[in-house]
Amino acid sequence: MKSLAALAHDLASGSITSRALTETMLARIADPDGQGSRVFIHVDVDGALAMADAADAMRRAGNVLSPLHGVPVSIKDLFDVRGEVTRAGSSILRDAAPASADSEAVARLRRAGAVLIGRTNMSEFAFSGVGLNPHYGHPLAPYRRAAQTVSGGSSSGAAASVADGMAAVALGTDTGGSVRIPSAFCELTGFKPTARRVPSTGAFPLSTSLDSIGPIGLTVDCCAIVDRILAGPSSSSSSSSASAPAHADSPAGASGSGAAVPFGARPLAGRRLGVLRNYMFNDADSIVPPTFERALRELEAAGAELVDFTFDALDRLPDINRIGLSSMESYALHRPWLDRSSQYDPRVLLRIMKGEGVPASDYLDLLGERRRMIEAAARAFAPFDAVVCPTVPIAPPTVADLADDTAFFRLNPLILRNPSVINFIDGCALSLPCNRPGDAPVGLMVAGTGGTDAAILALGRRVEAALHHLRTVERLQ
Would you name the residues annotated as active-site residues? 76, 154, 178
Compute φ and ψ for 407, nearest 5 degrees: -65, -45
At residue 285, what is the residue type?
D
CA–CA separation, 181 vs 162, rounded Å? 14
CA–CA separation, 417 vs 177, rounded Å? 8
Q: Is the dihedral of CA 316, 322, 324, 325 positive or negative?
A: negative
* 378 SS3 class: helix
CA–CA separation, 391 vs 432, rounded Å? 8
Residues listed for the chain: 477
Check if the beta carbon of residue 115 is closer than 8 Å to that of residue 74. Answer: no
- Cis-peptide, bond into residue 103, ω within 30° of zero: no
Q: CB pairs under 8 A, 24+ apart, for 229-233? A: 229/66, 229/68, 229/108, 229/109, 229/112, 230/105, 230/108, 230/109, 230/171, 230/193, 230/197, 230/198, 231/193, 231/197, 231/198, 231/453, 232/108
CA–CA separation, 462 vs 303, rounded Å? 10
At residue 332, what is the residue type?
A
* CA angle 341–342–347, rounded 5-degree value: 80
Helices of type H across 302-397: 317-320, 325-334, 346-353, 360-381
Q: Is the dihedral of CA 412, 418, 422, 425 positive or negative?
A: positive
CA–CA separation, 88 vs 412, rounded Å? 19
Check if the beta carbon of residue 461 is closer than 8 Å to that of residue 237. Answer: no
Strands 272-276 and 386-390 come out as parallel
Helices of type H across 122-219: 156-163, 180-185
Compute φ and ψ for 444, nearest 5 degrees: -110, 120
Check if the beta carbon of residue 277 is closer than 8 Å to that of residue 296. Answer: no
Burial class (CB in 10 A: 0-12, 13-18, 19+), 34: middle
Torsion of CA 35, 392, 469, 217, to 10 degrees: 50
